[in-house]
Amino acid sequence: MATRKAFARGATQVLYRHLPYALFEHDDYGLSQVESVALADSEMNRDALFDALSDALAQWRNPSFNEKFPDPRDPGRRSQYVVGAPREVRFSPYPLTFVCRKCSRVASYAALAKHGGPLGVCQCGGSFTRMRYVQAHNCGRMEELKLPERKCPNGHGPEHNAFYDPGRVRQARWYCKVCNADLQGLRMAPCRCAYSASLGPGDAKHEKWLKVVPAGDPSLYMPHTLSFVNFPEDEEGRIRNAKDALGLMLARAWGLLDAPAHTTIEARSRGVSDGEDALLAQMAEQLRVTNPDSPVLKAYDARKASPPGQSALDKVTTLLNGSGWSANEVPRRWLVEHTTLQDRTSLSDTTAVATMLRNRGDERGAKQVEDAARKSSELMGIASIRVINDFPLALCAFGYTRIARDPARTVISPFPPDERGKIPIYALASETEALWFQLDPVGVAAWLIDNGLMAGKAPETAEQAWAWVYTNLPGLRQSPTEPLYNEPASAAVRTLIHTMSHVFLRRIEWSGFSPSSVGEYLLTGTLSFILYANRHAETKIGGLTTLFEQRLGTWLWDAVQSGQECIYDPLCGDDGGSCAGCTHREHNCLFFNRDLSRSMLYGGPTPQNSELAAISIRHGYWAQAWQAAPTE
């Protein structure tokens, strides 16, 4: 039998279809299993990667479901991983159980090799092909289909065992080719894994057994990926650990700091103001010795007492006074990502697009963009929509599951270690196009208070609202492993942002992309979400940019109207407004279709199996937009 082979595939194709232990159909060798994938060097922010990996693994809340992974939160264990881009796929034929195309007799490779003769030829003269079924379990285990244990009641040997395959697992059976005697059905073996041990008696009993699955079934292999903003690692570390970095980044994200946070932090760390250098500081010190009362020196000292960004930093300190925040706290990844995107990428907002269209002589198009921006702000509670022309995305595959994706029903398995014992993470870094949405903090605060999820009076200005969100919604800036992540108000806002993202993705065809070709990225700490073209190529199609420039209003209002609809209503709406007929995505959902509910946008009960169970939203965030949409 042919052993390990190698072939090349596109990196993106490998990431989704040809990672270790995946089954695929090879043009020459037929059904095969990937054994390993060679790695190439890849420019990757490892700190951001392991931070994102920690959040991803935390979704498997049962500790025994992700225990195969070294803890990425422990810097000492990160050396147990190796990160790189997929380069070459190595595979071998699988499974090694065969069925005759002509007479349906079955045999294992070992039996065929033992008896000699042409390995691919049956005793009837027909050709053997690999069986199209395997056994698999939620824990990641996969095995070849077991040949029948029962012998023919009429004494015929196992070389006459045949397989009846009508195309449905429940009806498939083993029988004797000579006398047609029925041997047995497809038997499923029990699996004594961590997932099976976690199940109690009753309805879940059937999940303790391996399932017979067709080899082409997509549930047989489900790679799990994570994405993050791939900003330069050395720059991020330097700025993240600088003095006053947290306050200055908050000031930038809240619109209190006009200059880029990165340059402001760097200028402050040098101890000089913008435009000054070490020579000027040396001259000032010499003047201090000869003429300490010099007006020039006093002006210099005054500037030194108020370094760049100080007024914005003081404003943040005043707004957060009494909230318990610490100016010395290291900024979280979400805040570094937000300010990096704001300062270091090419952004276009609706004002810039309208100006560009007017310069082209397209006054009608400019007015449509401005009208869409106004309506999204006044009726949809969206403070800004921007195009990111060079979104620095990294996409990494870190493990796989079988039968299901849901972390509550699966054990996540890492890819097999390399010859050094290191666990591979397959990563791709690229720049792609994206749309960046940010909700209005005043509107979010008012929405929470109107629905009784928070008490008190809603803030009136944007800067007060940002401080209110930071103080009262700590779960938005915490990771899934932290205690306040699922507190009700934070969970409600996270569900609002996530649901809005899915509703827009549901109608993304206006861009020319299919929903499965567009990914989502949530920055809940700044009430943001990003929709990006899931492409890892040198060229950009420009579909999202064209959507933003030419069809923004149409897309927004189409999403408002269609987002309320579900083919399973009224049952879906009465049960929380989240199912495969409305908000669920088949691919690329960060949270496995959790934290979703149309009630956040249109009002109604929340899902019973969520952190918001038994809560009913009286006022949907898009209630005003929904009422206005049919007449606009």
Convert 535-546 into a string of H (helix), E (strand) and C (coil): CCCCCCCCHHHH
Give the strands of the sheet with 106-108, arranged side by side: 106-108, 97-100, 128-130
The DSSP output letter for 610 is S
Helices marked H in 385-477 = 441-450, 462-472
CA-closest candidate to residue 16, choices 519, 470, 397, 434? 397
Host H or E run for residue 90 = strand 81-93
In sequence order, the β-bridge partners of residue 400 are 223, 413
Q: For residues 552 and 574, what is the distance between their CA atoms, to the nearest angstrom?
A: 31
Scan for tokens 């060679």, then name that residue. Answer: 38
What is the pLDDT confidence band of residue 273, given thresholds at 50, 70 and 90?
very low
**Which range (118-127, 164-173, 296-305, 505-514) has the least confidence?**
296-305
What is the pLDDT confidence band of residue 82, given thresholds at 50, 70 and 90?
very high
Highest mean pLDDT among 141-150, 195-204, 286-295: 141-150
CA-closest candidate to residue 99, choices 4, 30, 189? 30
- Phi and psi (nearest 5°) for 566? -150, 135
CA-closest candidate to residue 38, choices 88, 84, 91, 80? 88
The pLDDT score that the predictor gives to residue 119 is: 67
- Phi and psi (nearest 5°) for 216? -95, 5
Q: For residues 142 and 3, what is the distance between their CA atoms, to the nearest angstrom?
A: 19
Host H or E run for residue 521 = strand 518-523
What is the pLDDT confidence band of residue 510, given thresholds at 50, 70 and 90?
confident
The pLDDT score that the predictor gives to residue 1 is: 45
Helices marked H in 379-516 = 441-450, 462-472, 488-506
Q: For residues 590 and 72, what is the distance between their CA atoms, to the nearest angstrom?
A: 19
Task: Quote the distance between the C-alpha of residue 532 and its chain's center.
Answer: 11
Is the predicted pLDDT of residue 608 greater than 90, yes or no?
no
CA-closest candidate to residue 424, choices 589, 590, 223? 223
Q: For residues 464 and 466, what is the distance between their CA atoms, to the nearest angstrom?
A: 6
The region, left, alpha or beta by phi > 0 then psi within -120 to 50, assigned to residue 563 is alpha
**Do 518 and 505 contact (CB within 8 A), yes or no?**
yes
How many residues belong to the chain? 632
- Phi and psi (nearest 5°) for 99? -130, 140
Residue 599: Cβ-neighbour burial (10 angstroms; 0-12, 13-18, 19+): buried
**Which range (345-349, 479-483, 568-572) has the least confidence?**
479-483
Host H or E run for residue 334 = helix 333-344
State whether residue 53 is helix, strand or coil.
helix
Is the predicted pLDDT of residue 275 greater than 50, yes or no?
no
Interstrand relation of 81-93 and 423-439 (parallel, antiparallel or unpaired): parallel
**Do 499 and 601 contact (CB within 8 A), yes or no?**
yes
Highest mean pLDDT among 283-297, 453-467, 504-518: 453-467
Helices then strands (H, E): number in the chain? Answer: 21, 21
> Residue 100 is encoded by which pair of tokens?
């005759």
